[in-house]
Chains A and B, each alone.
Chain A
């Protein structure tokens, strides 16, 4: 019974969408020969390059944060003893994420000559960070908790600004200077599981519609190069699309008789 109660089908749907988009998002640049124009704003490109980078840009604006959101949602668990919780967390996560990261990373390096699977490394670090924050904030109110999570976002943001070349310097082995891009989605997942009322709120139709409109507006602002738009786009575009896709996934499940999931 417990297993049925803890199963969230919408999370599998979102994981499925994200993974499918990830594979599509690898096919497009590899077919085009990984051109630099994919990383430039649309307003700076000739027309055919702009059209060719549109699908890539939409996919890359939210697909990996979507995976981190699901991971954060499934990560959250209540705990009794903080020391035992952290010890257990480190061991379990290392076994589940670091072992495949090191083994398959080495395998890929031997087969293709480059390191890979940065998601596993980022997810491991985020699991530890969220675990420590969960212990640290366990007696605090929701608002203080969110405030502390926000402070850590800026710490990670500054860490990225201080170590922008960490990925290149380590030949792709250490990637977590990019954590600030995925931390908000992961923490949003944790908070949605922890606070069911907030999770129910973001499932409302008008909230999801607003989220979709916000995503479109931010995408346009980013691509036409509005000053300061990039920071808010990187932060809010993935979150708004996650809110929309989450509501859509639950709606689909409800139509098929899936019922409530909180």
Chain B
């Protein structure tokens, strides 16, 4: 788990820039969340749901960042490297 945190940390700028394009939004889930009236249930549900989508978004960001970095000009423009 913490090894994953280190890996994410090394890609922090890339994830910050690219994750916006990969976050999936399911409004129906939002409606379900708002109907839940129990604190433990809604907090657990939100953590599991948002963490799952965050993992997907982060993995896609890292894959695309690695692809962008194959071009020197794009690497400089996107990530200032």
Contact = CB atoms under 8 A, between A and B. Distances in A.
Interface of A: 9, 11-20, 22-28, 30-33, 47-49, 51-52, 54-55, 67, 95-97, 99-100, 103-104, 108, 111-112, 116-117, 119, 252, 256
B17 A31 contact: no
A23 B42 contact: no
A97 B13 CA distance: 10
Interface residues of B, number: 47
B53 interface: yes
Contacts of B23: 23, 26-27, 30
Contacts of B36: 48, 51-52
A240 to B, nearest CB: 20
Given A27-B50, A47-B37, A52-B46, A12 B17 contact: no
Contacts of B16: 19, 22, 117, 119
23 contacts: A12-B5, A13-B2, A15-B12, A16-B5, A16-B10, A16-B12, A19-B8, A19-B11, A22-B16, A25-B50, A27-B49, A27-B50, A27-B54, A28-B46, A32-B34, A48-B42, A51-B42, A54-B42, A99-B77, A99-B80, A103-B78, A108-B20, A116-B20
A117 B17 contact: yes
B64 interface: no
Contact of B8 (A15, A32, A119): A15
A116 B23 CA distance: 15
Interface of B: 2, 4-13, 15-17, 19-21, 23, 25-27, 29-30, 33-39, 42-43, 46-47, 49-51, 53-54, 57-58, 76-81
Majority DSSP secondary structure for residues of A touching B: helix
A105 to B, nearest CB: 10
Contact of B33 (A32, A99, A103): A32
Given A22-B16, A32-B33, A55 B46 contact: yes
